[in-house]
Amino acid sequence: MKKEVQVHSLFSDFDISLFRAGKHYRLYEKFGAHILEVDGEKGVYFAVWAPSAKSVSVIGDFNYWLEGEHPLNVRWDESGIWEGFIPGVEKGAKYKYKIHSSIDDMKLEKADPYALKCEHPPNTASIVWDLEYKWKDKKHMSSRKDKNSLSSPYSIYEVHLGSWRKNMDENRSLTYVEMADELVSYVKEVGFTHVEFMPIMEYPYDPSWGYQLTGYFAPTSRFGDPQEFMYLTDAFHKAGIGVILDWVPSHFPEDKHGLGKFDGSNLYEHPDPRKGYHPDWKSLIFNYGRNEVRSFLISNAIFWLDKYHADGLRVDAVASMLYLDYSREDGEWEPNEHGGRENLDAISFVRDLNTEVYKSFDGVQTIAEESTSFPMVSRPVDLGGLGFGMKWMMGWMHDTLEYFKKDSIYRQYHQNDITFSMTYTFTENFVLPLSHDEVVYGKKSLLGRMPGDDWQRFANLRLLYSYMFTHPGAKLLFMGAEIGQYEEWNYNTSLDWHLLDYEPHQGIKKVLTDLNKLYKTRPALHEKQFTADGFEWISYDDSQNSVLTYIRKGEDPKKSLVVVCNFTPTVLKDYSVGVPHSGKLKEIFNSDNEKYGGSGIKNKSIKTKKESFHGRDNSAEITIPPLGCVVFEIL
């Protein structure tokens, strides 16, 4: 016997027109399951988009999962939206949509694309929930425009929540609430300005690390409920730390309960497999040319910034979206209308996304993980760019790691590898990433890549981080890098926290803590990190000694810093360096400091000489420690 489903709608005619035009960016306020009171009765309003359906029923634990007990009503306006109010359904109820398709008479059971909470995988039902929460981050939200600006320090700690630290007594990952204590205090201690979570949206398959999403509007139930994730974000904000979320609009999995063939048709994915199927990841690609799909995706991005107070979105796999021939052979892709390889629909979508994000929120950033030379990724849309705030500098990452893995005796022949990034570093607003992708699949950990004996390996790692933090651009380090992890990352196990019982690993953590402090407190390292007038070479051609010397500059030229890097284990004494002006050189950072595990070779105050060197009127003679980076201020 069919139960009463009351005719009710949250959609106005204007909502429908925006949705169909691809311009409705708050669809989470309309679609999904909403706890309401209608005509004095409490219950839940359901709405789902399924234009190829003959009928849609809500099935759940409140009706014994029986089809037809609660049929939804299709709207008269040909929008393809099915909706209705079901009295008596309460928060916590489990449900799905039973869709009877007009295509091949298929019957499908689908999770709600707009569900606010999902069952803990491997279970797949959606859960009626709300987003009621009393935020306590007013101070952070009101000041984050300054904290997140391109002229502010931006040091990111990338985290996989399931494997950062385990509760060893119970052999489980920490909960959101536990992380609000342990993770927040740790990130603050080491001094990162931001934390970036690998995808926390619900995903069915642990080995995907979260990059194959099925619950786009639900934080994963693995670690707690939505309010507990809000509590974690709130805790970071109260500690003055920004929260960036990895976001995946590039592809989605084929799981039966997910978005694929949602109503029997290619509703969310592109119907042409040349544009709708990803051969590398064996997943489906969104149809960026379909207006309703664009509304879904942009609404999802806005949702996490709006309801969860995220400070930024790192957009995954942007290159795969931009190019029709991405990971495809000749004959496996079709050129665009101009005969090119660019995906014009995806480019248009990305521009709309960034335009809406920056229009709607002060003090947020979108960051592109984009690995090609596509132009103007982090330039404004109105200037012809894609509109991202920043872009990962994949070339720097590749060249730098290739250079560092070489034995120091051979580095003199590869000086260009370590200097080449400066030929293009100001073409975009770059983030220097040493991410999770660099410590998996046989690539070794960062420490494991370093050559030489144990002392040299740790010295090389300290030098790598020092070079990174004094190079222009924002910074990103994957968890474990700060303790000198020996092993590659394993999503199933905790980081090797016991390593901090040993001094060399303590030294890595200390050097990163001090580098974060240096980056945050010295304006020369962040005020002009994305502009060419914030950097100046002193010398990049001393390949024989494998030495680089350069100046970092902020708004005040008197507060410029001189950076010297020695990429060999040879101590260089009485090394002449041209300096920008006369005065005394004071060493303010030295990666060879004994407290980091270094040899303790350092410089006392050095008075400059009125002797020309490196094309400058003033110079100084310094000592450069082995495999060391030294930073000076001139007083």
What value does the CA radius of gyration of the chain take, rounded to a whole number of Å? 27
Our measurement of the distance from residue 233's CA atom to the centroid of its chain's CA atoms, rounded to an integer in Å, reads: 15
Tell me the three state secondary structure of residue 605.
coil
Residue among 255, 263, 269, 369 flagged as catalytic: 369
Q: Which amino acid is at 574?
A: D
Buried/exposed code over 323-348 (b: 16+ C-beta within 10 A; e: otherwise): bbbbebeeeebeeeeeeeeebebbbe
Tell me the three state secondary structure of residue 337.
coil
Per-residue CA distances from 236 to 5, 61, 181, 192, 542 (Å): 43, 36, 9, 11, 44
The sign one gets for the Cα dihedral 534, 536, 541, 544 is: negative
Element (H, E) at 16: helix 13-21
Residue among 112, 255, 263, 316 flagged as catalytic: 316
Our measurement of the distance from residue 103's CA atom to the centroid of its chain's CA atoms, rounded to an integer in Å, reads: 39
Known active-site residue 254: no
Element (H, E) at 283: strand 283-284
Element (H, E) at 398: helix 394-404
Tell me the three state secondary structure of residue 559.
helix
What are the backbone angles phi and psi of residue 521, rounded to the nearest 5°?
Answer: -95, -15
Known active-site residue 316: yes
Q: Which residues contact 181 (CB under 8 A, 6 or more apart)?
A: 235
CB 128 within 8 A of CB 93: yes
604: exposed, middle or buried (C-beta count within 10 Å: 0-12, 13-18, 19+)?
exposed
Treating both helix axes as pointing N-terminal to C-terminal, what angle do 503-521 and 454-470 enclose, rounded to 10 degrees? 10
Buried/exposed code over 538-561 (b: 16+ C-beta within 10 A; e: otherwise): bbbebbebbbbbbbbbbeeeeebb
CB 618 within 8 A of CB 578: yes
Q: How far apart are CA 58 and CA 44, in angstroms?
A: 11
Closest by CA position to 197, among listed 313, 35, 99: 313
Would you name the residues annotated as active-site residues?
316, 369
